[in-house]
């Protein structure tokens, strides 16, 4: 990663990036950034501060203010009124300006007059684009049924159009945030605690923090990291379970170099040890948990030695971890994780995490899992759609997250079984990069009668659109309302509400999602059912329940604050709670899971062993990129233009490889990476494991900066294991070997 970003080097790199913009673009690139030449020093008008921004360079959504000059945004900063992120924003947040003025951004509605995957774009009017889209969707729904349309949404702006398509009668909606990220976590905690945990663990006040594969420091969610670092400053013991020496592992008191796919066995052994030794919160369990006897019986075989063999760890280290968290209970943060779909045995792993939290009594106490109350907001959605009884593709997965499992939609799109899906709508999601096995995704797209894509940038999925619509960015539109709380051990809690408001006006013909959806609805015959006439009305209706409005928030510098109640209940006599489960208690052993023929107690499901000559490919985040979304951002690209391939140093020596060698990769099915990257030789990764940051290797040549840079890990994930309880997609079950100078190099046994 290049840290030497001088002003001179940046200006050179920015000029080179601008010069690389293809001249054959539908819209001239020179109009995208600044109209006219830069003025002489002192010729600019006064810099103004515009409040009300909410970042969306990642989905943590920090509150920001903008500095504008001559109606152009010149700087982004954290909102000093924010109790969430304060004045702090990360590198990605700062680089939002480069997204706003990226010369490659989509500018006008476009029609593909070439082939999907090799498009030729014709600029058309909004009326033409919406007329054709409405005609195609209406035709498909009349011919095949309303469920013949599938949607892939992502981001705040996709919520309103998603509701509209569901209103027309399709249940086939698959958000990457649920089926490739956090949905399996949410469902595991729902069946245990009765609510989704988010990342609401009170790390700032913890005495011990346990992270399983959570790459804190590499995701850079600002307020989250502030809490995490405050906990470490206050002396919390940090345990990091990860096959790789991540940024978090570098700060750990104990780094557990676990064999991938075995985390559930590790957790089971810890829980058995705590129960056997009586190092758990007996009163909390007695008052708030059900199924303890069955739980103990289910863990009876889970000895330290049993787990040590499975996890390839010393039994003493597992015991050490158990006793650290037992000693510090209940003030322990068992972090629920974010991206949690790993190996297809994830529901059971996350159930184990939830159960460990429960037996430690680490709920509603400083350092524990916190369930706080935020301010209530109103709703202004489309009415709920009426789905045909026989159109649910998710009946095989009783604990599925909201929507439909991604792979079920894709297989139905290819096979037309049990019914045809003939239109895909991608709104802010890039399914080429979010769904593994790209060949199957592309086959699905080619099998469609119609593909609509709405986005900000020309991502990989836009190459397969028939109609491509340009959306206003988060800096140019209203939409998202952020609410939450901040708290401390002094029983002080602050509730806040802020709404995303534009910092600048949108350029070219970019529109917001409410306008686009409403215009489409009118053309499809649903004009009388439109719930709001504008995105401003939508935001105001939601704010009205809290006696707020856009106007009021503008006058409050974008954020409303009020005092709330403490989330802590520390008096033992009052620590009896009502949970939203069938039993009203935390379910260590779950009847509803047993009724669906799955193990009611967390259980370890083995994963496939690494084949001879290969290593297991795992992937994660970069501190300066949000997966594929930021690959064309010239500032962020300068800091990390490609994703180095982590390989154990002993393996590298045995294979004749050295740090910085340029390589390609080949997976177990013979699929080779389209591009190359450099090797990072390190002792900080297991010998049976290799690592890439996700999101690189964009295939769309319309990205003049990010195209073809680094290796696309998703292209190498051709084998999936579907989580049997949820339908979520486990994506760390693929294996690779190295290709150097055209020759395959196998890993040592």
Q: Partners of 150 in the beta sheet?
A: 424
Helices (H), 69-125: 91-94, 96-100
DSSP one-letter code for 698: B
Phi-psi region for residue 71, left (φ > 0), alpha (ψ -120 to 50) or beta?
left
Cα–Cα distance measured from residue 350 to residue 341, given in angstroms and rounded to the nearest whole number: 10
16 pLDDT higher than 50: no
Residue 315 belongs to a domain: yes
Cα–Cα distance measured from residue 368 to residue 209, given in angstroms and rounded to the nearest whole number: 9
Last residue within a domain, chosen from 367, 400, 433: 367
Give the CA distances from residue 688 to residues 618, 710, 737, in Å, rounded to whole numbers and listed in that order: 11, 22, 11
Cα–Cα distance measured from residue 521 to residue 250, given in angstroms and rounded to the nearest whole number: 52
- Residue 662 burial (CB count, 10 A): 12
3-state SS, residue 385:
coil
Residues 561 and 700 in one domain: no
Take residue 531 and report the two structure tokens written for it.
């719930």
At residue 43, the pLDDT reads 53
At residue 490, the pLDDT reads 67
DSSP 676-712: -EEEEEESSB-TTEEEEETT--B--TT-TTTBT-S--
Residues 563 and 621 in one domain: no
Residue 172 belongs to a domain: no
Average pLDDT value for the chain: 92
3-state SS, residue 276:
helix
Take residue 739 and report the two structure tokens written for it.
């290709």
Residue keyed to tokens 């100078």? 741
DSSP 712-745: -GGGG----EE-TTT--EE----EEEEEETTEEE
Residues 562 and 620 in one domain: no
Phi-psi region for residue 213, left (φ > 0), alpha (ψ -120 to 50) or beta?
left
3-state SS, residue 49:
strand
Residue 252 belongs to a domain: yes
Take residue 729 and report the two structure tokens written for it.
């997609």
Phi/psi at 54 (nearest 5 deg)?
A: -130, 120
What value does the mean pLDDT take over residues 623-646? Answer: 95
Q: Is residue 471 within 8 Å of residue 508, measured between CB atoms?
A: no
- Residue 68 burial (CB count, 10 A): 17
DSSP 367-428: TSB--PPPPP----PPPPP---TT--TTTT-TTPPSS--HHHHHHHHHH--SS---EEEEEB
At residue 11, the pLDDT reads 33
Cα–Cα distance measured from residue 194 to residue 587, given in angstroms and rounded to the nearest whole number: 9
Give the CA distances from residue 506 to residues 86, 108, 377, 587, in Å, rounded to whole numbers and listed in that order: 26, 12, 27, 50
Helices (H), 106-220: 126-144, 159-168, 176-177, 183-192
What value does the mean pLDDT take over residues 363-377? Answer: 93
pLDDT tier for residue 34 given thresholds of 50, 70 and 90: very low
DSSP 199-267: T-B-GGG-SEEEEES--TTTS--HHHHHHHHHHHHTT-EEEEE-SB--TTGGG-SEEE-PPTT-HHHHH
Cα–Cα distance measured from residue 238 to residue 228, given in angstroms and rounded to the nearest whole number: 10
Residue keyed to tokens 């209970």? 329
Residues 6+ apart with CB under 8 A from 739: 663, 664, 665, 666, 672, 673, 745
At residue 26, the pLDDT reads 55
CATH of the domain at 237: 3.40.228.10
Residues 546 and 674 in one domain: no
Residues 187 and 76 in one domain: no
Percent of the chain predicted with pLDDT > 90: 87
Residue 645 belongs to a domain: yes
DSSP one-letter code for 374: P
Residues 255 and 359 in one domain: yes
CATH of the domain at 737: 2.40.40.20
Q: Is residue 485 within 8 Å of residue 495, measured between CB atoms?
A: yes
Beta strand ranges found along 355-463 (DSSP E): 423-427, 450-455
Take residue 251 and report the two structure tokens written for it.
């700060």
What value does the mean pLDDT take over residues 311-321? Answer: 98
The maximal CA–CA distance of the chain, rounded, in angstroms, is 78
DSSP 336-357: --SS---SS-HHHHHHHHHHHH
Which residues span the domain enclosing 701?
615-745
Cα–Cα distance measured from residue 265 to residue 318, given in angstroms and rounded to the nearest whole number: 11
Take residue 492 and report the two structure tokens written for it.
């002080």
Cα–Cα distance measured from residue 161 to residue 742, given in angstroms and rounded to the nearest whole number: 47
How wide is the angle at C-alpha 203 spanned by C-alphas 202 and 205, nearest 5°? 75
At residue 311, the pLDDT reads 98
Q: Report the run of H or E that residue 665 belongs to, with start and end.
A: strand 662-667
Last residue within a domain, chosen from 334, 367, 400: 367
Take residue 344 and report the two structure tokens written for it.
């297809």
Cα–Cα distance measured from residue 510 to residue 451, given in angstroms and rounded to the nearest whole number: 19
pTM: 0.93
pLDDT tier for residue 220 given thresholds of 50, 70 and 90: confident
pLDDT tier for residue 6 given thresholds of 50, 70 and 90: very low
Give the CA distances from residue 327 to residues 115, 311, 360, 603, in Å, rounded to whole numbers and listed in that order: 63, 23, 10, 25
Residue keyed to tokens 């300006």? 97
For the CA atoms of 712, 716, 721, 727, the dihedral, rounded to the nearest 10 degrees, stands at: 30
User: Tens of pLDDT along 291-303?
Assistant: 999 999 999 999 9
Phi/psi at 665 (nearest 5 deg)?
A: -130, 155
Cis peptide leading into residue 330 (ω within 30°): yes
Residues 738 and 678 in one domain: yes
User: Tens of pLDDT along 208-217?
Assistant: 999 999 889 8
1 pLDDT higher than 50: no
Cα–Cα distance measured from residue 299 to residue 294, given in angstroms and rounded to the nearest whole number: 9
What value does the mean pLDDT take over residues 511-520? Answer: 98
Residue 328 belongs to a domain: yes
Count of structural domains, the chain:
3
CATH of the domain at 558: 2.20.25.90
Cα–Cα distance measured from residue 725 to residue 93, given in angstroms and rounded to the nearest whole number: 36
Residues 632 and 551 in one domain: no
How wide is the angle at C-alpha 509 spanned by C-alphas 540 and 460, nearest 5°? 100
What value does the mean pLDDT take over residues 671-699? Answer: 97
Residues 540 and 621 in one domain: no
Residues 231 and 100 in one domain: no
Residue 636 belongs to a domain: yes
Residues 81 and 202 in one domain: no
Residues 642 and 735 in one domain: yes
Take residue 160 and report the two structure tokens written for it.
């309103």
pLDDT tier for residue 8 given thresholds of 50, 70 and 90: very low
**Which segment of 320-324, 403-407, 488-492, 676-680 scores lowest on mean pLDDT?**
488-492
Residue keyed to tokens 């046994």? 749
**Residue among 26, 22, 5, 73 at smallest CA distance from 475:** 73
Take residue 112 and report the two structure tokens written for it.
């593909």
Q: How far is CA 22 from the centre of its chain?
A: 31
Cα–Cα distance measured from residue 474 to residue 267, given in angstroms and rounded to the nearest whole number: 40
Q: Is residue 636 within 8 Å of residue 91, measured between CB atoms?
A: yes
pLDDT tier for residue 39 given thresholds of 50, 70 and 90: very low
557 pLDDT higher than 60: yes
At residue 389, the pLDDT reads 80
373 pLDDT higher than 90: no
Cα–Cα distance measured from residue 492 to residue 564, given in angstroms and rounded to the nearest whole number: 7
User: Tens of pLDDT along 71-112?
Assistant: 899 999 999 999 999 999 999 999 999 999 999 999 999 999
Helices (H), 588-747: 591-595, 634-639, 649-655
Residue keyed to tokens 């095989």? 396
Take residue 589 and report the two structure tokens written for it.
């052993």
Residues 6+ apart with CB under 8 A from 335: 199, 201, 203, 209, 210, 211, 212, 214, 216
Residue 123 belongs to a domain: no
Last residue within a domain, chosen from 304, 333, 367: 367
At residue 18, the pLDDT reads 33
14 pLDDT higher than 60: no
Residues 6+ apart with CB under 8 A from 521: 164, 527, 529, 530
**Residue among 619, 634, 624 at smallest CA distance from 220:** 624
Residue 136 belongs to a domain: no
The pairing of strands 423-427 and 149-153 is: parallel
DSSP one-letter code for 146: G
Take residue 587 and report the two structure tokens written for it.
């379910």
The per-residue b/e assignment along 145-178, b for 16 or more CB within 10 angstroms, e otherwise, is bbbbbbbbbbbbbbbbbbbbbbbbbbbbbbbbbb
């Amino acid at each position: 990663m290049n840290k030497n970003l001088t002003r001179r080097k940046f200006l050179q790199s920015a000029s080179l990036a601008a010069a690389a913009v293809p001249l054959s673009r539908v819209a001239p690139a020179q109009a995208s950034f600044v109209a006219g030449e830069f003025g002489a020093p002192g010729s600019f008008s006064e810099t103004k501060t515009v409040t009300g921004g909410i970042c969306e360079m990642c989905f943590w959504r920090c509150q920001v203010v903008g500095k504008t000059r001559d109606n152009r945004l010149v700087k982004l900063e954290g909102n000093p009124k924010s109790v969430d992120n304060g004045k702090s924003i990360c590198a990605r947040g700062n680089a939002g300006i480069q997204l706003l003025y990226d010369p490659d951004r989509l500018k006008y509605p476009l029609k593909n007059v070439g082939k999907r995957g090799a498009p030729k774009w014709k600029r058309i009017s909004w009326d033409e684009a919406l007329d054709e889209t409405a005609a195609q969707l209406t035709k498909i729904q009349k011919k095949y049924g309303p469920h013949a349309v599938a949607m892939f949404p992502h981001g705040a702006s996709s919520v309103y159009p998603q509701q509209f398509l569901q209103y027309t009668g399709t249940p086939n909606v698959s958000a990457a945030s649920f089926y490739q990220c956090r949905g399996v976590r949410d469902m595991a905690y729902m069946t245990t605690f009765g609510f989704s945990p988010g990342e609401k663990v009170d790390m700032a006040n913890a005495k011990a923090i346990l992270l399983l594969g959570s790459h804190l420091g590499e995701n850079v969610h600002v307020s989250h990291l502030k809490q995490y670092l405050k906990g470490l400053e206050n002396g919390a013991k940090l345990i990091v379970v990860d096959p790789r020496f991540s940024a978090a592992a570098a700060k750990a008191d104990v780094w557990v170099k676990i064999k991938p796919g075995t985390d559930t066995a590790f957790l089971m052994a810890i829980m058995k040890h705590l129960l056997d030794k009586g190092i758990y919160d007996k009163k909390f369990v007695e008052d708030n948990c059900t199924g303890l006897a069955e739980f103990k019986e289910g863990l009876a075989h889970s000895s330290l030695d049993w787990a040590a063999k499975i996890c390839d760890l010393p039994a003493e280290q597992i015991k050490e971890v158990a006793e650290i968290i037992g000693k510090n209970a209940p003030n322990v943060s068992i972090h629920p994780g974010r991206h949690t779909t790993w190996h297809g045995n994830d529901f059971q792993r996350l159930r184990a995490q939830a159960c460990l939290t429960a037996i430690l009594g680490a709920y509603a106490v400083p350092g524990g899992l916190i369930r706080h109350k935020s301010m209530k907001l109103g709703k202004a959605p489309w009415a709920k759609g009426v789905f045909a009884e026989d159109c649910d593709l998710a009946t095989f997965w009783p604990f599925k997250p909201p929507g439909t499992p991604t792979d079920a939609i894709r297989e139905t799109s290819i096979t037309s079984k049990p019914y045809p899906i003939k239109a895909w709508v991608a709104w802010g999601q890039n399914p080429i990069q979010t769904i593994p096995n790209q060949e199957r995704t592309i086959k699905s797209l080619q099998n469609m009668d119609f593909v609509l894509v709405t986005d900000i940038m020309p991502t990989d999925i836009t190459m397969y659109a028939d109609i491509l619509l340009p959306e206003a960015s988060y800096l140019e539109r209203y939409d998202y309302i952020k609410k939450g709380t901040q708290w401390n051990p002094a029983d002080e809690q602050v509730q806040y509400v802020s709404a995303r408001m534009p910092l600048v006006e949108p350029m070219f013909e970019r529109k917001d999602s409410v306008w686009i959806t409403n215009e489409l609805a009118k053309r499809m015959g649903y004009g009388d059912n439109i719930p709001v006439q504008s995105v401003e009305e939508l935001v105001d209706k939601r704010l009205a329940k809290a006696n707020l409005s856009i106007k009021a928030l503008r006058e409050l510098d974008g954020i409303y604050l009020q005092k709330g109640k403490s989330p802590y209940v520390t008096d033992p006599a009052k620590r009896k709670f009502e949970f939203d489960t069938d039993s009203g208690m935390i379910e260590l052993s779950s009847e509803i899971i047993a009724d669906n023929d799955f193990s009611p107690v967390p259980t370890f499901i083995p994963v496939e062993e690494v084949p001879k000559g290969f290593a297991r490919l795992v992937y994660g985040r970069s501190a300066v990129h949000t997966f594929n979304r930021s690959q064309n951002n010239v500032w962020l690209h300068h800091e990390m233009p490609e994703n180095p391939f982590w390989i154990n140093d002993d393996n590298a020596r045995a294979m004749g490889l050295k740090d910085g060698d340029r390589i390609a990769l080949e997976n177990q099915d013979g699929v080779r990476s389209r591009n190359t990257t450099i090797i990072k030789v390190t002792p900080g990764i297991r010998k049976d494991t290799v690592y890439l940051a996700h999101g690189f290797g964009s295939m769309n040549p319309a990205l003049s900066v990010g195209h073809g840079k680094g290796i696309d890990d998703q292209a190498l994930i051709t084998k999936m294991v579907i989580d049997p309880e949820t339908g979520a997609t486990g994506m760390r079950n693929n294996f690779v070997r190295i290709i150097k100078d055209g020759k395959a190099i196998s890993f040592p046994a």
